[in-house]
Amino acid sequence: MGTPRLLAGLDQIGRLDRVAHLTTHGQMPRYRPDELVDLAENIDLRGRGGAGFPFARKLRAVMRSARDRDGQTAVVVNGSEGEPSCLKDKGLLLHAPHLVLDGALLAAAALNADDVVLGVTREDVEQSLREAIAERGPAGRRTRVVRLPERFVTGEGTSMVNGLNGGPTLPSGQKVRTSDRGLNGVPTLLSNTETYAQLAVAARLGALDYRATGLPTEPGTTLLTVAGATVVEVPTGTPLPYVLELCGMDPGQGVLVGGYHGRWLSPGAALAADISRGSLASFDAVLGAGAVLPLPEDTCPAGEVARVTRWMAKESAGQCGPCVRGLPSLADVLEDTVRGGGRNALETIEARMRAVRRRGACSHPDGTAGFVASALASFPDEFRDHALGSGCGRRVRGALPLPEDENPERLVVDWTLCRGHGLCVDILPDVVRLDEDGYPAQASMPVPERLRPKALRAVRRCPALALRIQD
């Protein structure tokens, strides 16, 4: 939308190697440390990984800590993006890796950092970065890429640093700032992929030209992932409905912004919102990591929310009670509500959310509870109807993207017992197909996680007891 900056050149070539990158963006200018801090401050550069922390403050914090620690520093690029609804950082690292490296090396030069480390979780992203580092030749600094486990909590700051230091990739639960002690125990500048790419763009344009696009109060562009599939670059201030329209979508039943720790916008709010911190804050929402997820009319909101909550419970770091017990319990009661949990089901959900809030070692329980609370407020009739047993009559289409299960459970048919009653296909039409004789066409069928409750129902209701769930 408009002239691309981060995605410049990608309309001509699928991946910008070193030569194509320099042809598109030009050489990187040099900046003194104070000049780089001033640049980041003048354009109000903020972290694009979710928290939106001012980048200039991070730079100053690392510089202050370094003065007290013999000047040693490091730079870390958080390229994990464990949020299934986000692809923007993966897009940059796969297609424009040199822009990210430019920003990281520019910051490293300002901090006089010896180490630049990129933490990623995907094999193809790791390979793209290794190729880019090789294309650049000796950079005068130790630049390396480290592959970490692909989990939601990998992107948490202390979790990433722990993993890069050779420990478990889990949140520490301690309030330790990476600017004080990060990689190998030295003051570390840690920010996400898009933030470093924005820094590289701004360094070439200068503050004045960078501010020529977007809002005066929030200059520049930002990357969005729409519906978990399409990455777009938009100037800040772009109307949200215009973004959806150009992607062939509409607000549907509502729009989730900020991912699975985000908030729901009603269709009316989505039509009135634009892509900016100020606009979204007026609807009690944040852009977070740039996920924009419209919910189509043909899917069940309550079922979609329960499905995501179950996945979030499984992504727990497993280190504290609110995650280990609280989130699975919240997922249980949500699934029970979708199946018709009774009049007290909604009160039970509220109780489960209260039990995990502000008690976790990291923000994962709070973020998940906030996602559920926002859904209850946005779809009250849906949850009430499901709790009372009437439901909405719509299937769960998987509109909120989740990773595919590499080893899904399977619905297995015992041919010695099956009599072809056909109840299984009535309950599980997305899994079971009948052959021309009216029997299941396959003896073993994968069951997606979101359909597990229906698979269990099919097992219980089979008159011939011919079905079972198998790992």
Tell me whether residue 176 is in a domain.
Answer: yes
Rounded CA gap, 141 and 138, in Å?
Answer: 8
Rounded CA gap, 402 and 336, in Å?
Answer: 21
Structural domain of 453: 409-470
CB atoms within 10 A of CB 102: 24
Consecutive H or E run containing 188: strand 188-192
Quote the pLDDT of residue 407: 61
* 310 shares a domain with 279: no
* 94 shares a domain with 67: yes
Under 8 Å between Cβ of 341 and 348: yes
The CATH number assigned to the domain holding 464 equals 3.30.70.20
The angle subtended at Cα 91 by Cα 197 and Cα 307, nearest 5°, is: 120
- Rounded to the nearest 10 degrees, how much is the dihedral formed by the CA atoms of 306, 307, 311, 312? -30
The CATH number assigned to the domain holding 372 equals 1.20.1440.230
* 97 shares a domain with 128: yes
φ, ψ of residue 311 in degrees (nearest 5): -65, -40
* 99 shares a domain with 164: yes
The CATH number assigned to the domain holding 72 equals 3.40.50.11540
Under 8 Å between Cβ of 300 and 270: no
First to last CA, the chain: 46
Rounded CA gap, 183 and 181, in Å?
Answer: 7
* 184 shares a domain with 120: yes
The CATH number assigned to the domain holding 238 equals 3.10.20.600
Consecutive H or E run containing 371: helix 364-378
Q: Say which DSSP state 391 is in.
A: -
Tell me whether residue 351 is in a domain.
Answer: yes
Q: pLDDT 10s digit of each residue in the chain, 471 long?
A: 788 999 999 999 999 999 999 999 999 999 999 999 999 999 999 988 877 899 999 999 999 999 887 889 999 999 998 888 999 999 999 999 999 999 999 999 999 998 999 999 999 999 999 999 999 987 668 999 999 998 888 988 899 999 999 998 888 877 788 999 999 999 999 999 999 999 999 999 999 999 999 999 999 999 999 999 999 999 999 999 999 999 999 999 999 999 999 999 999 999 999 999 999 999 999 998 899 999 999 999 999 999 999 999 988 877 888 888 899 999 999 999 999 988 899 999 999 999 999 888 788 999 999 999 999 999 999 999 999 998 888 988 889 998 876 567 889 999 999 999 999 988 988 788 888 888 998 888 888 776 788 899 999 999 999 999 987
Rounded CA gap, 370 and 368, in Å?
Answer: 5
Q: Global pTM?
A: 0.85
Under 8 Å between Cβ of 300 and 396: yes
* 45 shares a domain with 122: yes
Tell me whether residue 4 is in a domain.
Answer: no
* 315 shares a domain with 194: no
* 202 shares a domain with 90: yes
Give the pair of three-digit tokens for residue 187. Answer: 């003051």
Tell me whether residue 308 is in a domain.
Answer: yes
Consecutive H or E run containing 426: helix 423-427
Tell me whether residue 11 is in a domain.
Answer: no
Q: Which residues pair with residue 447 across a beta bridge?
A: 409
* 264 shares a domain with 172: no
The angle subtended at Cα 78 by Cα 15 and Cα 183, nearest 5°, is: 130
Tell me whether residue 434 is in a domain.
Answer: yes
Rounded CA gap, 148 and 311, in Å?
Answer: 19
Based on the structure, what is the number of domains in the chain?
4
